[in-house]
Amino acid sequence: MKLVNGAEYIESLRNLHPTIYYKGKKIGDVTRHPATAPHVRAAAMTYALANDKEYKDLATAVSHLTGRTISRFTHVHQNIEDLLKKVKLLRVLGQKTGTCFQRCVGYDGINATYSVAYEIDEKHGTGYLERFKKWLTWIQDENLMVVGAMTDPKGDRSKGPADQPDPDQYVHVVERRDDGLIIRGAKLHMTGAVNSHEILVMPTAAMDERSRDYAVVCAIPVDAPGVTMIFGRQASDDRRDRRERIDVGKPSFGAVGGESVIAFEDVFVPRERVFMDGETDFTGTLVYRFAAHHRANYGACKTGLMDVLTGAVSYLAQIQGTAGASHVKDKVTEMIHLCETLYSSSIACAAEGCPTPSGAYMVDTMLANVCKQNVTRFHFEVARLAVDLAGGFIATLPSQYDLESEEIGHLVEKYFSGTKGIPTKHRVKIARLIEAMTGGTALVESMHGAGSPQAQRVMIFREGQLDKKIRLAKALLGIPLKES
Amino acid sequence: MKLVNGAEYIESLRNLHPTIYYKGKKIGDVTRHPATAPHVRAAAMTYALANDKEYKDLATAVSHLTGRTISRFTHVHQNIEDLLKKVKLLRVLGQKTGTCFQRCVGYDGINATYSVAYEIDEKHGTGYLERFKKWLTWIQDENLMVVGAMTDPKGDRSKGPADQPDPDQYVHVVERRDDGLIIRGAKLHMTGAVNSHEILVMPTAAMDERSRDYAVVCAIPVDAPGVTMIFGRQASDDRRDRRERIDVGKPSFGAVGGESVIAFEDVFVPRERVFMDGETDFTGTLVYRFAAHHRANYGACKTGLMDVLTGAVSYLAQIQGTAGASHVKDKVTEMIHLCETLYSSSIACAAEGCPTPSGAYMVDTMLANVCKQNVTRFHFEVARLAVDLAGGFIATLPSQYDLESEEIGHLVEKYFSGTKGIPTKHRVKIARLIEAMTGGTALVESMHGAGSPQAQRVMIFREGQLDKKIRLAKALLGIPLKES
Amino acid sequence: MKLVNGAEYIESLRNLHPTIYYKGKKIGDVTRHPATAPHVRAAAMTYALANDKEYKDLATAVSHLTGRTISRFTHVHQNIEDLLKKVKLLRVLGQKTGTCFQRCVGYDGINATYSVAYEIDEKHGTGYLERFKKWLTWIQDENLMVVGAMTDPKGDRSKGPADQPDPDQYVHVVERRDDGLIIRGAKLHMTGAVNSHEILVMPTAAMDERSRDYAVVCAIPVDAPGVTMIFGRQASDDRRDRRERIDVGKPSFGAVGGESVIAFEDVFVPRERVFMDGETDFTGTLVYRFAAHHRANYGACKTGLMDVLTGAVSYLAQIQGTAGASHVKDKVTEMIHLCETLYSSSIACAAEGCPTPSGAYMVDTMLANVCKQNVTRFHFEVARLAVDLAGGFIATLPSQYDLESEEIGHLVEKYFSGTKGIPTKHRVKIARLIEAMTGGTALVESMHGAGSPQAQRVMIFREGQLDKKIRLAKALLGIPLKES
Amino acid sequence: MKLVNGAEYIESLRNLHPTIYYKGKKIGDVTRHPATAPHVRAAAMTYALANDKEYKDLATAVSHLTGRTISRFTHVHQNIEDLLKKVKLLRVLGQKTGTCFQRCVGYDGINATYSVAYEIDEKHGTGYLERFKKWLTWIQDENLMVVGAMTDPKGDRSKGPADQPDPDQYVHVVERRDDGLIIRGAKLHMTGAVNSHEILVMPTAAMDERSRDYAVVCAIPVDAPGVTMIFGRQASDDRRDRRERIDVGKPSFGAVGGESVIAFEDVFVPRERVFMDGETDFTGTLVYRFAAHHRANYGACKTGLMDVLTGAVSYLAQIQGTAGASHVKDKVTEMIHLCETLYSSSIACAAEGCPTPSGAYMVDTMLANVCKQNVTRFHFEVARLAVDLAGGFIATLPSQYDLESEEIGHLVEKYFSGTKGIPTKHRVKIARLIEAMTGGTALVESMHGAGSPQAQRVMIFREGQLDKKIRLAKALLGIPLKES
């Protein structure tokens, strides 16, 4: 691993020159711009843990390609233990950042591409896996951050890629040259894109024969010519942009991962960076594997966030003198219960993992989908309970400027004080943390990241083995399994 | 009614000079400051409807004191029809503003004080009701906006007012003069305070004998000497303050009601503006009545908001081409179902209303508490469904500056377009509206306004008539009603 | 009213001779057979209340046809007060019987037929209303019990009546004679049929032109030639049939209403008893009105049952010494809260009622559907809470024979005792009551009676006025209402 | 293993002579009495699987005491794989019996006693483990069924064992002799007791010094002098007792496990069968371990039941022609989703298991409690969905006597037919299966078995590590971990 700690990671970003817009202006240095720096810091934590004695075992792995120690985020899962360690690593990172640390999407993209490249080669006699291993070895050795780029704009959702009035609503190959491809289109909601080194482009859905040009997997540097990023807005982002260290809630880290649009305006991709080109018969499998890995994560990283939130409301209840009330304890219990229910599915889908033909391990897809489906329900409910426990003042609290005002600061100090011995400022800070973690963007990301709720339901039904279940019922009743 | 339309109301505010701080600075003119103007406009809608043929019948009433036509928001309910009309008026206003229009809290304060003043006089031979009628007639004739001021900071919640280390954690009388009282303390979360004319101070809880100085009801002009307001922060309030008309979500109106701290630093209240002074035996009844009226409102105004939100996601689904999907229709159905369930309780507690000894009508308190309790659950769920239907882009969408940028505006236009014929800008606007109505402040207010969830549960248990219910069960079994 | 009390009602049934089968055998006297007598007693309570000073005002009405005092269950709603009184009457009856008292289905059938007959006559120049008034006057004067017969077997649910392989899967006219009709088919789930006097046959769904023979409304005596009833099984019905007065749970009344199949094998209906014959254009309206009235009831009668159940678990908690535990109080609070939420919708849809062209009043259909939809969720949840509070012993308790056994009765007495002073037998009885009210049949009926959950959702979506809601959202954003 | 298949197990029961009462009468032969035979058959399935090639690996284990192959139900978990195999075994058995197969309670009792006996010996220098190993080796070699007997009547629940007015409300030692103990008291809800060989008595709660006589663990043959069992009632048990093979729902197996009261009237226990006597300091640990193991099971066996139920409603939907409706598919999806969520926790608490000092493995206790807590919610919800999908006829269906009646059988055949080609009898059978699996006893057992809901919440709060979570929140805000 070349980048051995957070500082080196941050330094490495300064050598890249991606084109990034935010609120109509270009961002020069993502590591210093107030809109992006918090997200850089969260990602830097993934580098930092690899050097922390306590977490090294979780945060690193031994490459099956080189035998060298690498960041786990660049590793291809070799067994169930790898899958379980991922879960535990993500929860710790959620606890330490209280936000999205952005590296899972590349991690899962690497794992999905690896196993599928193997299978394409087996069937079609192509040589994708060797190319991919070469690229991946470089990623592992340099310890680069990769953004997995899957979601296309999709335009009119009742039509597939090939039938769109605007052919660019899905990323596609517009020209094939001897030395590589020219691609065009865009990817939306790209978590961590602005502070990644590489983009791993993947198709967003299963495709048919007619969509050959849309069946493309390839790797592109973030600052390749023709790549433009537009960094999105988040709830209360001005507080972050103005560096309001109290009101922002999380002074060091972002609300969520920092999402961007990545537009590809006729970007050239050298042949050796292309890992699928036209094999539509494998698009479904690729998406399915990526999605399952990614859905499994949400019961890990989000439970880390919920741990922080549960701690925050418990602390606030102590300050407010309500920690002993039975309904308070019951609501805290419920927060923990929901959190651990989510964690169960992350652990379970790892424990029930199994190898693909390539040797790379997959999580149990049913349980991974169940995991994410519950996230789309329970995160809102946990937030609701936190808001209930915190009290209405998290929505009516005066600003930090008032708290620090010479004229009226004493009124804010006086009337927002709690238990003796805790400074009002601590109560205000914890309130702002809860506000930041329960409102808007944080929950929307949790709902839709790794696939919207209905996407999981489709998979759960599909994998539900209804035929087998019907046979079980019939067997109990002595009804013949085959009826006319 | 002196103030006959919204413009006159706004004009009238310019003649007041309340002391208001926001983000550390004084606000000179609430009607023009970007932080407060949207809230002024929402309140102005309550004036506007009184002149709208379609809504006049709902928005006005005939004063039982003077026989003159008045704003319903200054009326004392005389019958069930009045209670029902209030519900319908609030839903319409929610639909037209998509936010809190702030006048209910004074409305409910007037109704609670009126009926309780009557009963205090009956028991203690005081003359509060006459004083109150005089003040109220003036309010009605001038058509003034009143903020009902109930919630105190409460300091250490395990102690009552008289036992607080800091005696000012509840508003109290610090001096009694021949011509009036001097009061000190503060009220938190004061909806609409900055754009009201008058403050109606009420105690926040049932009190015992030892808290005589805290049992005070009185009316104070918003710009009385010693009154200081601090206007609170809300989610994404910078968008409002910077007049970002697209990104703010609701271009004309606020997120919620615009809440303030009101600090009373030794404020003088003339005797004729005092409607309770020391009658602790009526504090419980006053709070109980105010709370019941106020809780009943939430199934009316919030359902108006939910109507807007349901419309917004339905429109967005049309734009995105998903309106016909069965899971989309099912989620829209659920939004409507939850909304109408809330509305049921508002209507029902009005329909089951009954007169107090003063003749003023009260809602059914059980059903009013049930109404609010469901709001604390269903508003989050309705928001969750809206976020589900809207899609993840409401949390990752680039800013309006990017949309309008010469360099990259075309990319935003292209990749956030939907169904042919609908401009991308419309899709963006609707997304921002949904974002504004589902995140942070909007839901916190809905949770805690009119009392936190546990407050309603205490009342529901207390009014549950368990003894009667036990008798019903025993009767079915032939078990004697009295057992040794 | 000829039948002036419960005893006279019971006596009157002895003069009828319907053909009823149960467990393969004919029932001779429904008033004495252990399977049907409890249901007869529950219906008798509707007669008894009409003579009870406390409830007379609810249980009777003044006929708009004759001016005579009649049972409310034979009344056509003339105003909102009638609708509200119905709700209150049903809750009282639920409280007094703890079960279904069966008369609503005829009551709602009468109201639906009355208003629709008027409208058919208006459009088609038929004379149904006069016929119907004549029949209804007789029903009112005699005070007869009518079973509203709507639900057909439906056969293959993907096909309408006219396309069924077996034409009898919906009741239909097989021959038209000068003096009347011959009908064939069956109705399922007929609550109270075996102890009614008359059957009011109605179509079960909106029908098209091709289903003219299925569009029939008519009245048939329960013992008309060709009518056969088969009385269905219920959970633990043997306890009832063996007259196990403790273990049965409710010693006097049934689990639910006592449902039957009614088969019509070429039954002749005289012309003056036919109130619709072929007017398919009114089938939808009839079903819609019947369903709305009937759905509105469930927030009334079922809340009566929940009152009993809440009382039962509260009493049991006292016996077991757990009544003061905070989680017990919280669960009881939740039971009450859910119950009153249901009641809200029943009250609200009555309070928002409005007249049909005939003058007969209709409930608000949106709120009536919302009411029933919540019943299909909350009744299970209330039962779940009751089971939680009662404890596992309601599923493992020895029989009453063991309690009364000479050899081991002392062991049951000893080891199922509770708080000092309450006989073990009382604890056992209350446990059996809870068992009877929370398991199986009781909840299934609550789920499907008056229409299965999806039926309500279809109506809620249909009546949701999405166009209006979209306009509200657009108005807030200044988006033109009409877009290209 | 001496008993190598189901038949031998059944035969072995005929050699025992326990005293069992049911409905006031003695049961002579549990293997033939209609009330107990179905439960015997379900337990026999645990023997049968050990000889089934497909399941042998799950159903047997290698004894760490003897190295011999034994039934897994008599095994002490030696590693995580053992814990995972248990989960999978239980799900398969749930699928094959659709009910409780009763052996887990002894299995978990063995595991809890084993690890605790080790720790008592370590601390107190006793020799319990050697005694226990001897007994256990015999159990393993003979392959006997053990009922773990934990739940006492508890009398007045506000008092501990030592403070009860009646000292027998908890099982206790009434006399200590040289050769053993005399015990008295009772255990309630004893699943599988009537068809077990041995009773393993354990204390029901953590106890203090004053309750030494109540801190007893020992093994007693089911037919020891002084042991009396009273077999409890279940919903619709008459159908089982009368051998109504269609209406009973599950023709071969019981509703749940078949629970009994076991009364101990001064039963002698030889010294070598005593595994705890007075070590109150270990009562809490014993209960805690037993409970955790037992709670973990419910996400396994109950999901097996839910698989059957999901199959049953899917099959019924096919018969009724509704299987393709979107709301039907959505509800089936939800059933699967809830089921797999439960399964996740069972798998997860096994995967996160860890060794006790004795070497015996424990599940993760947080996740085991979370598992059971969700069972107490989701089983009701799954049942509710099944009832919704099945339709109201499962509560109104005529009896099998009517179906087979010469006079009216043709009517039942005709009007309860579904899709062409499926006999009406199959539809009826599947309806009765759903009825049996969703009503009454089945759900009560699921709610309270392995501990009532509140018991899990207490553990979840206790194990929630709030201190650590508060530190996480503070760390994010830079608030010192120690405050004055």
ipTM over 0.90: yes
Whether residue A327 and residue C326 make contact (CB cut-off 8 A), yes or no, is yes
Q: How far is CA A265 from CA A162, A190, D257, in A?
A: 19, 16, 67
Quote the pLDDT of residue D291.
98
Name the neighbours of D, counting chains with at least 3 Cβ pairs within 8 A: A, B, C
Tokens of D290: 């037993």
pLDDT in tens, A291-307: 999 999 999 999 999 99
pLDDT in tens, B257-277: 999 999 999 999 999 999 999
Q: Residue C345's closest CA among C295, C382, C383, C307?
A: C295
Q: What is the average per-residue pLDDT within D52-75?
A: 98
Q: Which of B41, B45, B477, B479 to mutate to test the interface with C (most CBs of C within 10 A)?
A: B477
Whether residue D238 and residue C233 make contact (CB cut-off 8 A), yes or no, is no
**Contact (CB, 8 A) for D442 and D386:** no
Residue C448: list chain D partners with CB under 8 A: 387, 391-392, 395
Q: Indicate which residues of B carry an active-site annotation.
A: 100, 104, 191, 259, 294, 298, 301, 445
DSSP bridge pairs for B388? none
Residue C297, classed as helix, strand or coil, is helix
Instruction: Check pLDDT > 90 for residue A157.
Output: no
Residue A414: list chain B partners with CB under 8 A: 166, 168, 186
**Contact (CB, 8 A) for C72 and C226:** no
**Contact (CB, 8 A) for A445 and A256:** yes
pLDDT in tens, B211-260: 999 999 999 999 999 999 999 999 999 999 999 999 999 999 999 999 99
CA of A319: which chain B residue's CA is closest? B156
Q: Residues D80, D85, D91, D95: what is their CA dihedral angle, to the nearest 10 degrees?
A: 170
Residue C327: list chain A partners with CB under 8 A: 326, 330
Positions in chain C short of pLDDT 50: none
Active-site residue among C104, C218, C349, C371? C104
Whether residue C314 and residue B421 make contact (CB cut-off 8 A), yes or no, is no
Helical H segments across A352-393, by residue range: 365-390
Quote the pLDDT of residue A483.
73
Burial label, C266 (beta-carbon count in 10 A; 0-12, 13-18, 19+): exposed
pLDDT in tens, B303-347: 999 999 999 999 999 999 999 999 999 999 999 999 999 999 999
Identity of the residue in A312, A466, A476 whose CB atom sits nearest the CB atom of D308: A476
**Contact (CB, 8 A) for A43 and B420:** no
Whether residue B232 and residue A447 make contact (CB cut-off 8 A), yes or no, is no
Instruction: Check pLDDT > 80 for residue D483.
Output: no
- If pLDDT is split at 50, 70 and 90, which confidence band does D156 have? confident
CA of B237: which chain A residue's CA is closest? A236
B206/chain C closest Cα distance in angstroms? 22
Instruction: Check pLDDT > 60 for residue D177.
Output: yes
Instruction: Check pLDDT > 80 for residue A484.
Output: no
Name the neighbours of B, counting chains with at least 3 Cβ pairs within 8 A: A, C, D
Identity of the residue in C315, C374, C474 whose CB atom sits nearest the CB atom of B341: C374
Whether residue D473 and residue A311 make contact (CB cut-off 8 A), yes or no, is yes
Edge-to-edge order in the sheet of strand C172-177:
C25-26, C19-22, C227-231, C259-270, C180-191, C172-177
Instruction: Check pLDDT > 80 for residue D445.
Output: yes
Residue D92: list chain A partners with CB under 8 A: none
pTM confidence score: 0.97
CA of D338: which chain A residue's CA is closest? A370
Residue A173 burial (CB count, 10 A): 21
Q: What is the average per-residue pLDDT within B29-51?
A: 97
pLDDT in tens, D179-226: 999 999 999 999 999 999 999 999 999 999 999 999 999 999 999 999
Identity of the residue in B333, B348, B474 whose CB atom sits nearest the CB atom of C460: B333
Quote the pLDDT of residue D484.
55
Q: Which of A41, A318, A432, A476 to mutate to test the interface with D (most CBs of D within 10 A)?
A: A476
- If pLDDT is split at 50, 70 and 90, which confidence band does A472 have? very high
Residue type present at position C201: V
Q: What is the average per-residue pLDDT within B160-179?
A: 95
DSSP D169: G
Active-site residue among D218, D301, D339, D349? D301
pLDDT in tens, B78-126: 999 999 999 999 999 999 999 999 999 999 999 999 999 999 999 999 9
Q: Which of D327, D334, D337 to mutate to test the interface with B (most CBs of B within 10 A)?
A: D327
Residue C234: list chain D partners with CB under 8 A: 395
Total CB pairs under 8 A between chain C and D: 250
Active-site residue among D198, D244, D435, D445? D445
**Contact (CB, 8 A) for B186 and B261:** yes
Residue B151, classed as helix, strand or coil, is coil
Task: Count each helix (H run) and each strand (E run) in chain B, helices first.
Answer: 16, 14
CA of B247: which chain A residue's CA is closest? A233
Quote the pLDDT of residue C132.
98
Q: What is the average per-residue pLDDT within B133-151?
A: 98
Active-site residue among C218, C301, C349, C371? C301
DSSP string, D90-111: HHHHHHHHSS----HHHHHHHH
Quote the pLDDT of residue B484.
55
Quote the pLDDT of residue A191.
97
Residue with token string 């700690």 = A5
E strand segments, D10-106: 19-22, 25-26, 60-62, 69-71
Q: Which of D315, D330, D373, D374 to mutate to test the interface with A (most CBs of A within 10 A)?
A: D315
Burial label, B14 (beta-carbon count in 10 A; 0-12, 13-18, 19+): exposed
Q: Residue B100's closest CA among B207, B257, B250, B255?
A: B257
Asked about D349 being catalytic, the answer comes back as: no
Whether residue D337 and residue A460 make contact (CB cut-off 8 A), yes or no, is yes
